[in-house]
Amino acid sequence: MDPLLNPFAPGAGTPPPKLAGREEVLKKTEITLGRVKAGKPAKSFIVVGLRGVGKTVLLGEVYSKAESLNYCAVQIEAHENKALAALLLPKLRQVLLKLDKIEKAREVGNAALRVLAAFATAVRASVGEVEFSLSVDPDRGSADSGDLEVDLPDLLEAVGKAAKAKETAVALIIDEMQYLSETEMSALIMAAHRMQQRQLPVVLVGGGLPQILALAGRSKSYAERLFDYPRVGALEEVDAREALAEPIQCEGMDITEAAVREVIARTEGYPYFLQTWGHFCWDVCQTDSIELEDVKRATEKALDNLDESFFRVRFDRLTTAEKDYLFAMADLGPGPHRSGDVAAQMKRKVESVAPTRSSLMKKGMVFSPSHGDTAFTVPMFDTYLRRVRD
Ligand SMILES: Nc1ncnc2c1ncn2[C@@H]1O[C@H](COP(=O)(O)OP(=O)(O)OP(=O)(O)O)[C@@H](O)[C@H]1O
Ligand SMILES: [Mg+2]
């Protein structure tokens, strides 16, 4: 089929040709944003799921919805080696300068800018030089204590008041939240709590790997009540079919029932894999309908492609000890696995491999679905590991 028309282009955060099976989160987005905009209480939420299931795509949908409702929306991606405050600073500056353009309630907007300038001085003191300039005097004593759990709620309260006075709302969208430190997570939770208590129009929407649940729980015991954690995962069969067949049919082409079944079996309905198989099935097909034989040829290419990109980028970031731990997990199957079983597989004591397990968690490679269990955050990573080793 014509590669120019190939509807499938797997990529991090790339919107799929058909966003299938996510009606619930989309509905939740609409209701939450609508309520906050109308000044009604609503819970912030964090989309939780494994690698490649479509969290970033959903956050993109949240961003677009917020824009269409005339929110000031900003999106950041948490990072292992970057402070949350330093990431937020330029984005909140952008928000406040945008709010500043709204003629109403000048003094409230200006007050928020001064709080932000004060926050910036504290950020500079703790994380070093950050690029930031504002032509207002800092409001000394506001959001500049250097304690993020105090300063972030203060800062977002000032932002919320400005948004309210200007009759708009702010959406703060944070991807890869599992990389936040406990203090940062706690500061965000406290800020979200403050927004709810004061009924300010600021909504926080996050996304990240399943370790977020434990991180939030450790940071603040009331985190569970404050946020909703919609789960996203592999698509149900009917949705996977739609995600695959509809884009093909929209281009005037077709796919047989046997071919659809084979793709679903190979991908287990995981969105990134569906896009990858869709892409290669399209490319190898010489007629105007994808058949089982095409899927078989595409499978080889799809696996090579995943091994060289999706899986490989993750594998290359690991130390030898971390790789060994994952190989031992892979030998035991898809998981989750008991930590004791993994250690036994490595012929080591649980305590001696515990630091490796926790560094793998920090890197977002594994998580603990329940106490003492370890699971891969990347779907089908066990089969990849067995392929690269053999
Ligand atoms: N509902 C869906 N239906 C079909 N394809 C989807 C769906 N959601 C996402 N995809 C596709 O899956 C791929 C991965 O999406 P995305 O990057 O949003 O995942 P992610 O969960 O953020 O992954 P990571 O944890 O690696 O950041 C993209 O190519 C996207 O187009
Ligand atoms: Mg993502």
Quick: pLDDT tens for 238-284. 999 999 999 999 999 999 999 999 999 999 999 999 999 999 999 99
Question: 76: buried, middle or exposed (CB in 10 Å: 19+, 13-18, 0-12)?
Answer: middle
Interaxial angle between packed helices 148-165 and 84-100, expressed in degrees from 0 to 180 and rounded to the nearest 10: 20
> Which pair of tokens denotes residue 108?
């409230």
Asked whether 16 lines ligand 1 (CB < 6 A), one says yes
Report the pLDDT value the prediction gives residue 260, as an integer from 0 to 100: 98
* Among protein residues, the one whose CA lies closest to atom 12 of ligand 1: 272
Report the pLDDT value the prediction gives residue 322, as an integer from 0 to 100: 97
Give yes or no for a contact between 298 and 281, defined as CB atoms under 8 angstroms apart.
Answer: yes
Q: pLDDT at residue 133 above 90?
A: no
Correct CATH for 236-308 of 2.60.40, 1.20.140, 1.20.1280, 1.10.8: 1.10.8
Hey, which of 6, 29, 53 would you mutate to test ligand 1's pocket, going by the most ligand atoms within 8 Å of its Cβ?
A: 53
Q: Is-cis flag, bond preceding 41, omega within 30?
A: no
Give yes or no for a contact between 306 and 273, defined as CB atoms under 8 angstroms apart.
Answer: yes
Q: pLDDT at residue 74 above 90?
A: yes
User: For the chain, where are the alpha helices, taking DSSP H only?
Assistant: 23-37, 55-68, 84-100, 106-127, 148-165, 182-198, 211-219, 223-226, 237-250, 257-267, 271-284, 292-308, 312-315, 320-332, 339-345, 350-362, 381-389
Other CB atoms within 10 Å distance of the CB of residue 140 = 10
> Where in the chain is CATH 1.10.8?
236-308
Half-sphere exposure of 224 (CA within 13 A, CB side): 5
**Which CATH superfamily groups domain 23-228?**
P-loop containing nucleotide triphosphate hydrolases (3.40.50.300)
Half-sphere exposure of 204 (CA within 13 A, CB side): 28
Mean pLDDT of the chain: 95
Give yes or no for a contact between 276 and 243, defined as CB atoms under 8 angstroms apart.
Answer: no
> Where in the chain is CATH 3.40.50.300?
23-228
175 Cα to the center of ligand 2, angstroms? 7
213 Cα to the center of ligand 2, angstroms? 17
Q: pLDDT at residue 130 above 80?
A: no
- Cα–Cα distance between 231 and 368 in angstroms, integer? 16
The mean pLDDT of 84-110, rounded to a whole number, is 93
The mean pLDDT of 124-142, rounded to a whole number, is 85
Specify the ligand 1 atom closest to the Cα of 310.
26
Residue 81 or 307, more confident = 307
Instruction: Dump pLDDT digits (tens) for 309-342.
Output: 999 999 999 999 999 999 999 999 998 999 999 9
376 phi/psi in degrees, rounded to 5: -70, 140
Instruction: Dump pLDDT digits (tens) for 143-166.
Output: 999 999 999 999 999 999 999 999
Instruction: Dump pLDDT digits (tens) for 374-383.
Output: 999 999 999 9
The mean pLDDT of 2-8, rounded to a whole number, is 97
- Cα–Cα distance between 325 and 321 in angstroms, integer? 6
Stated pTM of the model: 0.96
Asked whether 17 lines ligand 1 (CB < 6 A), one says no
> Residue 368's pLDDT band (boundaries 50, 70, 90)?
very high
Report the pLDDT value the prediction gives residue 129, as an integer from 0 to 100: 75
Q: In what side-by-side order are the strands of the sheet with 72-77?
A: 72-77, 170-175, 202-208, 44-48, 227-228
Report the pLDDT value the prediction gives residue 226, as an integer from 0 to 100: 87
Extract long-range pairs of 366-371: CB within 8 Å, 24+ residues apart. Answer: 366/326, 366/329, 367/209, 367/210, 367/211, 367/214, 368/211, 368/214, 369/210, 369/336, 370/336
Report the pLDDT value the prediction gives residue 359, as an integer from 0 to 100: 95
* Among protein residues, the one whose CA lies closest to atom 16 of ligand 1: 54
Report the pLDDT value the prediction gives residue 132, as an integer from 0 to 100: 79
Question: 264: buried, middle or exposed (CB in 10 Å: 19+, 13-18, 0-12)?
Answer: buried
Hey, which of 242, 264, 275 would you mutate to test ligand 1's pocket, going by the most ligand atoms within 8 Å of its Cβ?
A: 275
Q: pLDDT at residue 221 above 80?
A: no
Kind of pairing between the strands at 202-208 and 170-175: parallel
The mean pLDDT of 107-132, rounded to a whole number, is 89
Q: pLDDT at residue 390 above 80?
A: no
Could you tell me how far CA 41 lies from the centroid of its own chain?
24
- Cα–Cα distance between 119 and 141 in angstroms, integer? 9
Report the pLDDT value the prediction gives residue 387, as an integer from 0 to 100: 93
Report the pLDDT value the prediction gives residue 20, as an integer from 0 to 100: 98
Q: Which of 171, 206, 195, 196 is nearest to 72 (CA)?
A: 171
Residue 42's alpha-carbon distances to 53, 86, 160, 228, in angstroms, are: 25, 27, 14, 10
Asked whether 271 lines ligand 1 (CB < 6 A), one says yes
Asked whether 364 lines ligand 1 (CB < 6 A), one says no
- Cα–Cα distance between 153 and 157 in angstroms, integer? 6
Report the pLDDT value the prediction gives residue 126, as an integer from 0 to 100: 83
Specify the ligand 1 atom closest to the Cα of 377.
25
> Residue 217's pLDDT band (boundaries 50, 70, 90)?
confident
Asked whether 54 lines ligand 1 (CB < 6 A), one says yes
CA 227-378-298 angle, 5° bins: 130
Specify the ligand 1 atom closest to the Cα of 51.
25
Any idea which ligand is nearest the CA of 232? 1
Report the pLDDT value the prediction gives residue 323, as an integer from 0 to 100: 97
* Among protein residues, the one whose CA lies closest to atom 9 of ligand 1: 54
Q: pLDDT at residue 135 above 90?
A: no
* Among protein residues, the one whose CA lies closest to atom 8 of ligand 1: 54
The mean pLDDT of 197-225, rounded to a whole number, is 90
Secondary structure, 3-state, 244-276 = HHHHHHHCCCEECHHHHHHHHHHHCCCHHHHHH
Q: Which of 177, 240, 235, 250 is nearest to 207 (CA)?
A: 177
Report the pLDDT value the prediction gives residue 157, as an integer from 0 to 100: 98
> Where in the chain is CATH 1.10.10.10?
312-389
The mean pLDDT of 6-22, rounded to a whole number, is 97
- Cα–Cα distance between 157 and 191 in angstroms, integer? 8
Specify the ligand 1 atom closest to the Cα of 14.
31
Q: Which CATH class is domain 312-389?
A: mainly alpha
- Cα–Cα distance between 48 and 220 in angstroms, integer? 18
* Among protein residues, the one whose CA lies closest to atom 13 of ligand 1: 272
